[in-house]
């Protein structure tokens, strides 16, 4: 983001000397002709010698030459943080888009790539992508690529493939020029001799050199007399001690201890600039008895306060910048934070927190929109915290027009589903998932022959799950409807919206999944829907006439997912189940259930509850036509013909196991001829 480019860091403000002449020339060349001269350009130097300045100068100059050019400046850590944030937010696209759209990508502090293989791979990929896209990459480090520990050979080759150039420490003249320029910028008049004293010091690190200058400026500001070279030297000697203690400056001579320096302007005293950190007792009694009335203690105090305030302000601004980087990397507009950086606010942290709350609300709204109308979830309004009201309105409109998925049928109640040995496992599993949807048995696949009660159980589960929950919580659809809807959605070019209907459901129940074997596209859709719902711990229930692995045409990835939950079989109804079903049916229809009739029908060789109910229906219809109560006589007449109505039932003597020892009714001879009618022929 170009906002990160410090406007003060331009080529114009860069003092060129022997140490950085080559690097500056290369940088200018890159800025003038991005991606053509040296790509990537790798700049390295010791800390504080102007790498960041150079990088930002490239960015400023390139942008000035081509205002439409997108320039991105980022430190490696920010780059990594943005990448990780994007990964964790599942929004790596925005991250890639942000950086891929950059005409010039400036990455600072890449020495932190050391021992971070994964990151190196990502950077390698990025660099290659950007180079292919004709973008310029500029990197900086405190060491050459070959000295970055454990650097991937491919990345090393890529980095070394452009131009690797170092910045040397500034010579005396350069240091003097830097000090002169900075003093001018600050509007402070310091004598040339004073600046020379600073330049001649042992500090070659530009950043620290400017720190020394700041110290002189702070002293000058509180003094009524111009700073003399001697006073400056004395101050530097005192300051060097403080610097050495921080480990960044060479040790200087012993500092004076609360001593009045002879040539300092009146009142200026040098004391230990850094009191020991708390909790420590600072013993000032050592100086007692030699107090100095002319010491400019206030000047020292002011200098300390200035330094502390500046540090704190930098941290505050850093927090705002971090927030800007963080959220813009995720594709959100950060105008509010940028205004905050420019103009301030009464409570910046509160502003950041409010901004982040708005982002959270936006994400919720975007999620809601994705569930209703995914095609509109990418609208810019969901990336702009200033347009929160607009986003809310959009979601409300989408909610109002949202068409919920098919609900379970009211015709099937779970309480009407009869429990028996052949349905017990499936029913128990159903009760478990009703109690805790999405926790156990996910998916639940109900397998059994046609007419066995799978659809009843499926819808019964659906109704129980939907009880007390909002419309659309449960989607219950037959495979045939699922495929028909898909075709229609393709026709209407509204696939995302169609998908959203189901992805929004908290339970998805699909009847006859085996029918999808005929449609690859429907299987693909089911596969993605399955994954999305399962990942969100939503409950899935399917029915099938065959175990998934035996369904013809069902692809392996779907089979493995269906088999991954619980496949519960519903067997051919046993006698108990048949009796229960018949009793319920007759009680419901005529208010009584004749035991003999029930017993007769329960022994009829049916393969499914549906067939059994069909038999009962025939008898009820016949009885109704005759104006009589349903009876075993009517049943015999219906099932065996009028002749059988008056005689006792005869069977083949073959006992057919209720579990289906003989699979098809057609394969069994049911009406055996009377042996008395048979002609016995002796062939002997």
Given the rule CB under 8 A, which residues bind other proteins? 221-222, 224, 271, 275, 278-285, 287-289, 291, 293, 295-298, 300-302, 304-306, 308-313, 315-316, 343-350, 352-353
Q: Looking at beta carbons only, is 266 or 435 nearer to other proteins?
A: 266
Nearer to other proteins, 225 or 431 (CB): 225
Shortest approach of other proteins to residue 351 CB, angstroms? Answer: 9
Least distance from C-beta 129 to other proteins, angstroms?
Answer: 37
Tokens 């969100």 — which residue? 536
Cβ–Cβ under 8 Å, residues 31 and 153: no
**In whole angstroms, how close is the CB of 290 to other proteins at the nearest point?**
10
- 347 or 436: CB nearest other proteins: 347
- Minimum CB distance to other proteins, residue 422 (Å): 59
CB of 298 to other proteins, least distance (A): 5
Q: How many angstroms separate the CA atoms of 336 and 321, rounded?
A: 12
Which CB sits closer to other proteins, 13 or 306?
306
Neighbouring-strand partners of residue 566: 444
Please give the C-alpha separations between residue 595 and each of 157, 592, 600, 637, 647, in angstroms, as whole numbers.
Answer: 90, 9, 8, 17, 18
Question: Closest approach of Cβ 495 to other proteins, in Å?
Answer: 43
Write down the least CB distance from residue 307 to other proteins, Å.
Answer: 9
Residue 250 or residue 344: which is nearer to other proteins going by CB?
A: 344
- For other proteins, the closer of residues 280 and 680 by Cβ is 280
> Sign of dihedral through CA atoms 257, 261, 264, 267?
positive
Tell how far CA 630 is from the center of its chain.
65
Helices (H), 200-228: 206-221
Q: 269-270 and 259-260: which strand pairing?
A: antiparallel
Smallest distance, Å, CB 261 to other proteins?
17
We find the least distance from the C-beta atom of residue 389 to other proteins, in angstroms, to be 25
Residue 354 or 629 having the CB closest to other proteins? 354
Buried b (16+ CB within 10 A) or exposed e, 295-307: bbeebbeebeebb
In sequence order, which ranges of 566-672 are alpha helices (DSSP H)? Answer: 575-590, 595-602, 609-626, 632-640
Pick 305 or 360: Cβ nearer other proteins: 305
Q: Give the whole-angstrom CA distance, residue 323 versus residue 311.
A: 18
Structure token digits, residue 6: 């410090």
3-state secondary structure of 403: coil
Question: C-alpha distances in angstroms, 65 versus 60, 124, 132?
Answer: 9, 28, 22
Least CB distance from residue 235 to other proteins, whole Å? Answer: 17
| Residue 557 token pair | 């990835």
**Which residue's CB is nearer to other proteins, number 201 or number 299?**
299
Please report the beta strands in 521-575, taking only residues with DSSP state E, as ranges in sequence order: 539-544, 566-569
Whole-number minimum distance, CB 285 to other proteins, in Å? 5
- Contact (CB, 8 A) for 498 and 485: yes
The strands making up 566-569's β-sheet, listed across from edge to edge, are: 474-478, 507-511, 539-544, 444-447, 566-569
Tell me the closest approach of the beta carbon of residue 241 to other proteins, in angstroms.
17
Cβ closer to other proteins: 316 or 527?
316
The residue ranges of DSSP E strands in 416-503, in sequence order, are 444-447, 474-478
Q: What are phi and psi of 555, to 5 degrees?
A: -75, 160
- In this complex, which beta carbon is closest to other proteins, that of residue 16 or of residue 188? 188
Q: Which residues of 426-453 are buried (b: 16+ CB within 10 A; e: fewer)?
A: bbebbeebbeebbeebbbbbbbbbebbb
Say how many Å lie between the first and final Cα of the chain, rounded. Answer: 108
Least distance (Å) between residue 223 CB and other proteins:
9
Nearer residue to other proteins within complex by CB, 323 or 372: 323
Q: Return the number of other C-beta atoms located less than 10 Å from residue 2's C-beta.
A: 14
Is residue 68 helix, strand or coil?
coil
By beta-carbon proximity to other proteins, the closer residue of 251 and 287 is: 287
**Burial per residue of 636-645, b for 16 or more beta-carbon CB atoms within 10 angstroms, e otherwise:** bbbbeeeebb
Residue number, 295 or 405, with CB nearest to other proteins: 295
Q: Quickly count: other Cβ atoms within 10 Å of residue 273's Cβ.
A: 18
Three-state DSSP at 632 gives helix
Nearer CB in complex with other proteins: 311/671:
311
Residue recorded with tokens 């920010």: 78
Compute the least distance from the CB of residue 291 to other proteins, in Å.
5
Instruction: Kindly tell me which of 310 and 393 has the beta carbon lying closer to other proteins.
Output: 310
Rounded to a whole number of angstroms, the minimum distance from the CB of residue 348 to other proteins is 6
Residue number with CB closer to other proteins (291 or 676): 291
What does the block give as tokens for 354?
């409010």
Omega before 199 cis (within 30°)? no
Residues pairing with 540 in the sheet: 508
Shortest distance, position 277 Cβ to other proteins, whole Å: 8
Q: 637 and 644 in contact (C-beta within 8 Å)?
A: yes
CA neighbor of 497 nearest in space, from 379, 363, 405, 408: 405
Please check whether residue 229 is in contact with residue 194, taking contact to mean a CB–CB distance below 8 angstroms. yes
The rounded Cα 206 to chain-centroid distance in angstroms is 42
The answer to whether the Cα torsion of 134, 140, 141, 147 is positive or negative is positive
Q: Find the shortest distance in angstroms from Cβ 355 to other proteins.
A: 13
């Amino acid at each position: 983001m170009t906002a990160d480019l410090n406007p003060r860091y331009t080529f114009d403000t860069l003092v060129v000397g022997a140490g950085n002449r080559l690097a500056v020339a290369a940088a200018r060349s890159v800025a003038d002709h991005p991606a053509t001269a040296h790509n990537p350009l790798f700049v390295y130097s010791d800390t504080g010698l102007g790498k960041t300045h150079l990088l930002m100068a490239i960015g400023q100059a390139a942008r000035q030459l081509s205002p439409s050019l997108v320039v991105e400046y980022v430190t490696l850590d920010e780059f990594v943080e943005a990448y990780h944030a994007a990964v964790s937010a599942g929004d790596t696209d925005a991250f890639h888009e942000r950086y891929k759209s950059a005409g010039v990508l400036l990455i600072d502090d890449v020495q932190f790539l050391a021992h971070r293989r994964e990151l190196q791979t990502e950077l390698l990929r990025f660099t290659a992508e950007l180079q292919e896209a004709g973008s310029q990459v500029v990197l900086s480090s405190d060491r050459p690529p070959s000295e970055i520990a454990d650097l991937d050979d491919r990345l090393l080759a890529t980095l070394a493939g452009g131009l690797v150039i170092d910045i040397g420490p500034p010579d005396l003249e350069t240091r003097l020029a830097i000090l002169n320029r900075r003093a001018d910028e600050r509007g402070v008049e310091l004598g040339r001799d004073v600046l020379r004293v600073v330049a001649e010091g042992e500090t070659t690190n530009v950043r620290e050199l400017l720190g020394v200058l700041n110290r002189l400026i702070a002293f000058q500001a509180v003094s009524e007399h111009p700073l003399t070279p001697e006073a400056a030297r004395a101050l530097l000697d005192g300051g060097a001690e403080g610097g050495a203690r921080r480990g960044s400056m060479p040790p200087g001579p012993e500092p004076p201890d609360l001593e009045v320096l002879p040539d300092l302007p009146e009142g200026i005293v040098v004391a230990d600039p850094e009191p020991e950190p708390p909790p420590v007792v600072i013993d000032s009694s050592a100086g007692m008895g030699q107090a100095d009335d002319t010491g400019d203690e206030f000047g020292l105090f002011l200098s300390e306060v200035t330094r502390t305030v500046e540090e704190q302000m930098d941290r505050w601004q850093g927090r705002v910048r971090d927030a800007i980087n963080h959220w813009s990397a995720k594709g959100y507009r950060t105008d509010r934070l940028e205004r905050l950086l420019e103009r301030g606010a009464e409570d910046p942290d509160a502003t950041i927190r409010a901004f982040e709350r708005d982002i959270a609300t936006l994400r919720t709204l975007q999620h809601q929109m994705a569930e209703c109308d995914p095609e509109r979830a990418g609208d810019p309004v969901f990336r702009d915290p200033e347009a929160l009201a607009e986003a809310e309105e959009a979601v409300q409109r989408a909610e109002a027009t949202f068409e919920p998925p098919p609900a379970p049928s009211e015709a099937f109640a779970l309480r009407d589903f009869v429990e028996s040995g052949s349905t017990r496992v499936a029913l128990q599993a159903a009760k478990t998932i009703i109690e805790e949807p999405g926790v156990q048995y996910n998916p639940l696949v109900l397998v059994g022959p046609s007419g066995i009660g799978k659809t009843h159980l499926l819808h019964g589960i659906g109704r129980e799950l939907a009880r007390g929950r909002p419309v659309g919580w449960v989607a219950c659809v037959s495979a045939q409807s699922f495929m028909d809807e898909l075709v229609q959605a393709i026709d209407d070019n509204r696939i995302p919206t169609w998908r959203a209907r189901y992805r929004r459901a908290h339970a998805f129940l699909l009847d006859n999944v085996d029918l999808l074997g005929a449609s690859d596209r429907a299987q693909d859709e089911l596969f993605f829907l399955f994954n999305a719902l399962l990942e969100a711990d939503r409950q899935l229930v399917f029915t099938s006439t065959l175990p998934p692995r035996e369904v013809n045409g069902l692809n392996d990835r779907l089979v493995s997912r269906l088999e991954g939950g619980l496949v519960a079989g519903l067997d051919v109804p046993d006698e108990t189940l048949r009796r229960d079903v018949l009793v319920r049916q007759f009680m419901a229809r005529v208010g009584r259930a004749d035991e003999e009739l029930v017993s007769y029908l329960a022994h009829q060789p049916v393969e499914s509850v549906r067939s059994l109910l069909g038999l009962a229906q025939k008898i009820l219809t016949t009885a109704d036509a005759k104006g009589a109560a349903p009876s075993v006589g009517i049943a015999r007449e219906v099932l065996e013909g009028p002749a059988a109505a008056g005689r006792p039932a005869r069977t083949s003597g073959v006992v057919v196991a209720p579990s289906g020892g003989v699979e098809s009714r057609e394969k069994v001879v049911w009406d055996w001829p009377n042996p008395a009618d048979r002609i016995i022929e002796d062939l002997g």
